[in-house]
Amino acid sequence: MTDKPGLLAVEGISKSFVGFKALDGVDFTVRPGEIHALLGENGAGKSTLIKVLTGVHQPDAGVIKIDGQPVAMRDTQHAQHLGIGTVYQEVNLLPNMSVADNLFIGRQPMRFGFVNRKLMEKQALELLAQYDLHLDVSSDLSRYSVAVQQLVAIARAVDMSGRVLVLDEPTASLDRHETEILFAILRQLRARGFGIVFITHFLDQVYEICDRVTVLRNGKLAGSALTAELPKIDLVSLMLGRALAVATHNTRHDRPVPAIKPFSFKGLGRSRSIAPFDLDIGEGEVIGMAGLLGSGRTETAKILFGIDAADTGHIRIDGHPVLIRTPQDAVACGFGLCPEDRKSDGIIGDLSVRENICLALQAQKGWFNRLSSREQISLADKFVKALDIRTTDIEKPIKFLSGGNQQKVILARWLATNPRFLILDEPTRGIDVGAHAEIIALINRLCDDGMALLVISSEIEEIVAYSTRVIVLRDRAHRGEISGDDITTSNIMQMIAAESEGASA
Amino acid sequence: MIRLNTAALTKAMPQLLSLMLILFLNYLAFPGFFEIRLQDGRLFGSLIDVLNRGAPVIILAIGMTAVIASRGVDLSVGAVMAVSGALAATMTVAGYPLPVVIVAALGTGLACGLWNGILVAYFDLQPIVATLILMVAGRGIAQLITEGSIVTFTEPGLIFFGTGSFAGIPMPILIAVSLLVVAIAVVRRTAIGLLIESIGINRSASSYAGLNSKLLLLVIYGFCGFCASLAGIIIAADIRGADANNAGLWLELDAILAVVVGGTSLFGGRFSILMSALGAVIIQAMNTGILLSGFPPEYNLILKALVIIVILLAQSFSSLGGWAFLKGEFRSKGGKRQ
């Protein structure tokens, strides 16, 4: 190997948790001036490796070297001192404090024993100017978007450590434009000689920005290569350890649109949330819903499911008028919703997989009509098997499962109620490639079984793959519908982009 | 039942050991502590006394467990006790028949609880603030009812709830145990227990799952108010009078403490009513022991604080996987494995 010496290298790292080997003899090297993608399915050991790199966990075996010198990383502060900064998936900042406070917390410039705000804000401005960010540093961080918060977190990490930057899924909650800004900054840091570790689920981004890629699988090193020398299909099979067998080509365009549409929403809307829209859905149809973040996709789902009450419009099911003011009403009509924000609106973290699966059915059956323990267990077992939910047992709290498996549990929760109309809001966000393919296969299967589905997704290729019709949203309104052979990525993109220039910032 | 297994017993170990230790210390301080005798058809003895004195807090802790499991807290139970005690005493003096008095007093407690529930569930007030309102106002209402004086009564029917006995067992114990059995049966034989845990852990996700979390919260707070009025009747019956200023004073804190000592987290979620009752018994055993030992009562509060610190530390030690920690296997925050 003729590589430059590693800035940060680990050799033969192993780490076990009680009864579980999270890392097994992993080697990993970050060189100066490179962006290094760290990939793997959920549970492959990425997070554990990062926690070892940043001093959160102590490895059971193996060495960590910085500039070729072995070091014993004591804790995160020590890691920072050695030049390793981290930005975690959930940004570790204080939204109720000012931008400047967030940048300098714990190391504010002092004068006479007080924080010298003037100096601190001046330094904050200078620091952010390096990234072409011009913010009001004295206002609360929460005023800014997640993307800006992320950039502030990066600025802080870079300023504090200065050699290696670890980013754990930084683009998970960013839209396209914001991602571009982030990438520009990463390129700039790379030019300055930083070693950057980049964890993501988006393979396109790996090819867009990363120089090298390392793949973990089941706690072991699956492979490491220069991105330019690794075709995408090989990368995917490295991650999965098997050939990918997913129908990513649309099979549904030629399907006749059903003549009878039992679910009919007319003029449904809510002020300052979503402009009134019409929607008719038939059984065995998958309606794809595309649009940028904030275009009104989630708002549509919330109104359909009664989370937010509609101001206008009316709903008919099988021709009968119904009122949906609460989720209970929606469930009574045979609706189900897998929400966008799995952690805050989906899972009940401390409850077991079994209880999470049974929850919606139990809520529907009523307080006094308890599912017996035996019924609960058989229901949970059935869905764990049917959806291939990976958990050591059904009594495990759901918070210990990986994102993809949590998503499957939420899906199981609704499938247990035997719904007629299922709304999936970003069902594949933040989950690994394997689970991703399984969820798409499941959507197709449910559709074949005659369920009506509405699927919201930011991944347009995915929408193209399973939708019978596609609705495009823009600026909090439904702007158009595409069906049949017109469902292509470029058509959808064009419709999303139409007239929205100038509003993109 | 899944819940009555060895794991549950292991989890209850800190509390059971504490109780045994306190009872043993009580025995050292007062050798006659474990003696129980039958006199005039009623059981007497220090152990019986612990349960009898502890009954009001046990009853409060039953309602409080549900509230805390839903990630709330009810500060008003002491004041609600005073209100229903005052109402029961005043109505009795005014000559109303016993059943009417009881129904009115319990109904008032229920109404107070529902009021709290409406503020928390439908107006989205923080539970600590919402119930603080009634904690302050309740004593005022009680004073209005008694017109500022201590109302005493001699009606044997009402007094029976405080000092009477049935089959040798004092009424307060009987009432507390019956309520305990019924409450446990209701939460575990129906889905209510699971649903309370669910909204306590994540109310938003529970609502998304189609659970009527507002109605459930209303019922929980209503039940807590009902429990408070029951405790209020017992205390009024015991002293044969209603003291609007002192009845149930600070008992909301004992009730919260009992729940916490019983292992239910103030952050809501998993709960055990039985363990809360055990917590109440531990607190009362301490109170009784300190009185029996002849320590000046000033020491009572300090000793209580010490014992509680020990119990809570023991709990947090075992819930954090303390034994694994000793072996150097400490897992940070639930050991997220990725």
Q: What is the CATH number of the domain that holds A29?
A: 3.40.50.300
State the average pLDDT for chain B. 88
Question: Taking Cα atoms as reference points, which of A10, A51, A28, A24 lies closest to residue B331?
Answer: A51
Using the predicted structure, report yes or no on whether residue B337 has a pLDDT greater than 70.
no
Together in a domain, A133 and A206: yes
**B338/A346 touch (CB, cutoff 8 Å), yes or no:** no
DSSP state string for B12-29: THHHHHHHHHHHHHHHHH
A198 and A87, same structural domain?
yes
- pLDDT confidence tier of residue A499, bands split at 50, 70 and 90: low
My answer on whether A72 and A102 are in the same domain is: yes
Q: What is the mean pLDDT of residues B254-270?
A: 91
Q: Which residue, of A199, A215, A240, is where some domain finishes?
A: A240
Q: What is the largest CA-CA distance in chain A?
A: 78
For the segment B38-67, the average pLDDT, to the nearest whole number, is: 93
Residues β-bridged to residue A477: A474
A437 assigned to some structural domain: yes
A293 in B contact zone (CB under 8 Å): no
Q: Could you tell me if A74 and A145 lie in one domain?
A: yes
pLDDT for residue A160 = 80
CB-closest option in A17, A348, A371 to B337? A17
Q: Which residues contact A326 (CB under 8 A, 6 or more apart)?
A: A306, A309, B212
Assess if residue A2 is contained within a domain: no
Nearest-5° Cα angle at A64, A63 to A69: 100
Nearest residue on chain A to B201, alpha-carbon basis: A348
Same domain for A468 and A377, yes or no, is no
Across B1-8, average pLDDT: 58
Query: Rounded to whole angstroms, how far apart are CA atoms A95 and A98?
Result: 8
Mutate: best of A42, A329, A370, partner B, most B CBs <10 A = A370
Interface contact flag, A363 B210, Cβ < 8 Å: yes
- DSSP letter at A278 equals E
Of A358, A296, A367, A364, which Cα lies nearest the Cα of A332?
A: A364
A199 in the same domain as A66: yes
The verdict on A485 and A457 lying in the same domain is: yes
Instruction: Answer whether residue A3 is part of any domain.
Output: no
A378 and A236 co-located in one domain:
no
What pLDDT does residue B336 have?
39
Boundary residue ending a domain (A221, A240, A259): A240
Q: In terms of CA atoms, which chain A residue is nearest residue B202?
A: A348
> Does A353 reside within a domain?
yes
**Distance in Å, alpha carbon of A495 to nearest chain B alpha carbon:** 31
The rounded percent of chain B whose pLDDT value lies above 70 is: 92
Q: Does the ipTM surpass 0.90?
A: no
Whether A114 has a pLDDT exceeding 80, the answer reads: no
Closest Cα in chain B to A403: B338
Task: Kindly state whether residue A64 falls inside one of the protein's structural domains.
Answer: yes
User: Is residue B327 pLDDT above 60, yes or no?
Assistant: no
Poorest-pLDDT segment among A228-232, A355-359, B169-173, B266-270 = A228-232
Task: For chain B, give the percent of residues with pLDDT over 90.
Answer: 65
- Token pair in block for residue B39: 């006199």
- Contact pairs from chain A to chain B, CB under 8 Å: 109
A484-493 contacts at long range (C-beta below 8 A, 24 or more positions apart): A484/A253, A484/A254, A485/A253, A485/A254, A487/A250, A487/A253, A487/A288, A487/A463, A488/A464, A489/A460, A489/A461, A489/A464, A492/A290, A492/A460, A492/A463, A492/A464, A493/A460
Strand locations in A40-177 (E): 61-66, 69-71, 84-87, 110-111, 114-115, 164-168
Last residue of a domain, one of A181, A205, A240: A240
pLDDT-derived band at A251, boundaries 50, 70, 90: low
pTM: 0.75
C-beta separation of B22 from B32 below 8 A: no
What mean pLDDT is predicted for residues A342-347?
90
Residues A362 and A223 in one domain: no
Where in the sequence is the domain holding A488, given as residue range(s)?
245-334+419-505
pLDDT for res A253: 58
The answer to whether A20 contacts B204, with C-beta atoms less than 8 Å apart, is no
What local confidence, expressed as pLDDT, does residue A436 receive? 82
Regarding whether A444 and A305 lie in a shared domain, the answer is: yes
Q: Inform me whether the pLDDT recorded for A111 exceeds 80.
A: no
Work out how many domains chain A is built from and give that number.
3
Å from B263 to nearest chain A CA?
15
- A227 in any annotated domain: yes
Q: Which tokens in the block code for residue B47? A: 């152990």
Q: In what order do the strands lie in the sheet with A20-30?
A: A20-30, A8-17, A61-66, A69-71
Is residue A287 domain-shared with residue A434, that is, in the same domain? yes
Q: Both A103 and A135 in a single domain?
A: yes
B212 neighbourhood in chain A, CB within 8 Å: 326, 328, 363
What's chain B's length in residues? 338
Q: What pLDDT, on a 0 to 100 scale, did the predictor assign at position B271?
A: 95
The encoded tokens of residue B92 equal 């009795």
In a domain, A341, yes or no: no
Question: How long, in residues, is chain A?
Answer: 505
Residue A343 counted as domain residue: no
Mean pLDDT of B98-104: 96
pLDDT higher for B23 or B334? B23
At B338, is the pLDDT very low, low, confident or very high (cuts 50, 70, 90)? very low
| A49-to-A58, A153, A160, A164 alpha-carbon distances in Å | 10, 21, 21, 15
Q: Please give the structure tokens belonging to residue A108.
A: 């504010």
